Structure 1
Amino acid sequence: MSQRRKWVRHMTWGLLGVALLALLAWALRPTPLPVNVATVTIGPFTDSVTEEGRTRLRDTWNVSAPIAGFLQRVTLEEGDRVEEGEVLFQLEPSPAPALDVRTRQQAEENLQAAQARLRAAQANLETARADLRFAESEYQRYRQLHQRNLVSTADLEQRQNQRDRLRALEHSAASGVEVARFEVESARALLAVASGQRSEADQPTLQVRAPLSGLVISRYRCCEGSIAAGEPILELGRLDDLEIQVDLLSMDAVRLRPGMDVLISGWGGEPLRGSVRRIAPAGFTRTSALGVDEQRVPVIVDFDPELDRGALGSGFRVDAEFLIWQGEEVMQIPTSALFRHQGEWAVFVIDEGRATRRIVELGRRHGLRSQVLAGLEPGETLITHPGSQVDEGIRVRADE
């Protein structure tokens, strides 16, 4: 019985010793390293480029004094709407010597030349309209044949393309007629000023009319007085022609394509939609606020015509986000979880409380998110901002 008690006592002390050693080993083991974590998710992903831009009008019309004279007071102000043919301002003959014989003869010849250009422009317009009528009839004939499967779709599209090009040429010819008509009126107005004295009674005036319907964008002259020929008075434009110029870094501009969607914000209203119309073929150098020379490329963006732009006008600041690529079900991770390992991208995955290095294959990267093509599974936990203390196999815990 005494031997049995000794054996039990020895076993008890032995177990206590083993427990103390285990407790000591547990107490001396390294504590898990606190780390920031994130989860591999699947969701919408957008690859875009955002840059500040300025609105502008695609086309503006500077209305100037066609002749030297005496300008009556201009009552129109910036923002006033004018209709095509409306009187913008009036000119009286200036108190200067009358036209001499030589100058008058030159003016008559200029009028004849302008009238000849008008006749030529009208002839070009008739030719363009005849070609357009023929192209329209050809297109209708080919469409009927296409409906009966007698001609190919390519032939029909070729006829449609030819009709559209001739329609554009017809519009251009019509504009040429308008320009020539204004030149004739200008030349005729020059001949109308025959006296160099201002007379209070029956004073002839020259009425300069609006070439289009639109808004007064700028007023360069308001007060009456003598004015030289060609001096600008008003600038007209149409807000329907509003567009955006964005100067992008050349490395971002090469990723764009005409027709690409653009999200317009930062203008004081709800975000608007637009599309890339033109990417300039040449860039320029601009010095940044940090004194760094940057190569910039102008990119022109058109607004969606169906959206309400509110009070947005020319010269307004906007933020343009160019949507290069979009996906709905994209596996993605925070960019802060990535680091380079032996020339490849890698992340640390938490597996049973330990950091495990994993090589990943990346797709697109945008800002704080990166697309993952291979190497991870949705729902896995990653370590973000891994420091020098994080290594393969180290015990870690998520920092609350």
Structure 2
Amino acid sequence: MNWKEKAIAITSDKKVRIGFGIGIFVLFLWFLLKPKPVTSETARVTKGTYQQIVEEEGITRVREKFTIFSPVSGILKRLHKHAGESVKKGEVLAIIKWDFDKPVYSPIEGKVLKVIRESEGPIEMGSPLLEVGNTNQLEIAVEILTQEAVHLRPGNPVQIDGWGGERLAGYLKLVEPAAYTKISSLGVEEQRVRVIVDFTPPSTMGEGFQVRCKIISDEKKNQIIAPTSALFREGENWFVFKVLKNKAKKIKIKLEAKSGENALITDGLIEGDEVILYPGEGIKENVKIR
């Protein structure tokens, strides 16, 4: 009997056909039910300089602002300057008719920041007229949560962004000694303290500009840095899922600090390790990762 005849004999056997069908069905079920690879975003652990950053929005303000008041009671005749105009020290800003025309002078060289009284007419002594200041001498006031402010020291470097121009450099000049209560946008009471940032402003920046300040409170070189989004906590311990041979491996780590997108790791990971970002419910031990 040749091989063709043998093949026909085997396939004509009813038991063989049933077994063959069962095998195909089992194979189909296995293929249907086998765990599917989970699509995940991953990133590499790096080694470099870790920076502990406190990031908040701030507002520029003139270091020394002068409010000009009416020196006498009389008739305000006119203002000689408008908001935004430059003034010289000793330049006439306004004229008040008293027993005689009494000029009001600028105490500094700078710009008119704000006109408080624009219209002519009667005015009482001590009434505010306008504000002047030197916009070449700006500083930034930033409101920091008290639990973050305790780590800040005068001299800390500051990166200034978000004002519409290139990144600027500054340093922390002062941490005010008294905190205050402020209501957050979510209606939560917060204890904050004001810190002052010194910097060299560009000519296009003025008072009241909103900026984003990154205050670097600490810096460590040659450190293992992992993405904060890869970390998750169980009880008092921190873990990540590391990718090994295309499978997820749960790894316990030692976390020293977190700041923004970066976490300082002192044990459990090495440079080049691939970790899973934003591990959800589908990420478990030995799950295949795609």
Give the Cα separation in 2 of the matches to 1:377 and 1:259: 33
Is residue 90–residue 207 contact of structure 1 (8 Å, CA) maintained in 2?
yes
Of 102, 125, 141, the residue aligned with 1:245 is: 141
Match of 1:382 in 2: 275
* Alignment of structure 1 residues 203-352 onto 2, 5 Å: 204-303=100-199, 305=200, 309-327=202-220, 329-341=222-234, 343-352=236-245
* Counterpart secondary structure, 2:186: coil
In structure 2, the CA distance between the partners of 1:330 and 1:223, relative to structure 1 (3 Å rule), is same
Q: How many Å apart are 1:353 and its aligned residue?
A: 4.4
Query: Structure 1 residue 34 and structure 2 residue 26: aligned?
Result: no
Partner deviation per Cα, 1:283-303 (whole Å, 9 max, x = no partner): 222222222222221111111
Q: TM-score, structure 2 length as denominator? A: 0.80
Aligned with 1:364 (options 224, 232, 257)? 257
Structure (1 or 2) with the larger CA radius of gyration: 1
Kindly tell me the number of residue pairs found equivalent between the two proteins.
266
**Which has the bigger relative contact order, CA under 8 A and spacing at least 6?**
1
Residues 70 and 391 of structure 1: CA distance in aligned 2, closer, same or farther (over 3 Å)? closer
Distance 1:219 1:387 in 2: 57
Q: 1:231 to 1:44 in 2, by over 3 A?
A: same
What amino acid maps onto 2:44 in structure 1? T
Deviations 1:189-236 (A, max 9, x none): xxxxxxxxxxxxxxx432332222221112223443332111122221
- Matching residue within 65, 77, 81 for 1:60: 65
* d(CA) in 2 for partners of 1:385, 1:219: 53
Kept in 2, the 8 Å contact 1:35–1:383? The answer is: no
Distance 1:383 1:224 in 2: 69
Contact 2:38 2:283 in 1 (8 A): no
Percent identical residues: 36
Measured against aligned partners, the alpha-carbon deviations of 1:51-100 in whole angstroms (never above 9, x if no partner) come to: 11111122211222212223322221112222222222233325xxxxxx
- The structure that is helix-richer by fraction is 1
Aligned to 2:289: 397
Contact 1:285–1:293 (8 Å) recurs in 2: yes
CA contact (8 A) 2:243 2:276 kept: yes
CA RMSD of superposed structures (Å): 2.9
Equivalent pair of 1:35/1:386 in contact (CA under 8 Å)? no
* Misfit runs of 4+, over 6 Å: none
- What corresponds to 2:93 in structure 1? 88
Report deviation, 1:237: 0.9
Unaligned runs of 5+ in 2: 1-19
Instruction: Name whichever structure is richer in strand by fraction.
Output: 2
TM-score by length of 1: 0.59
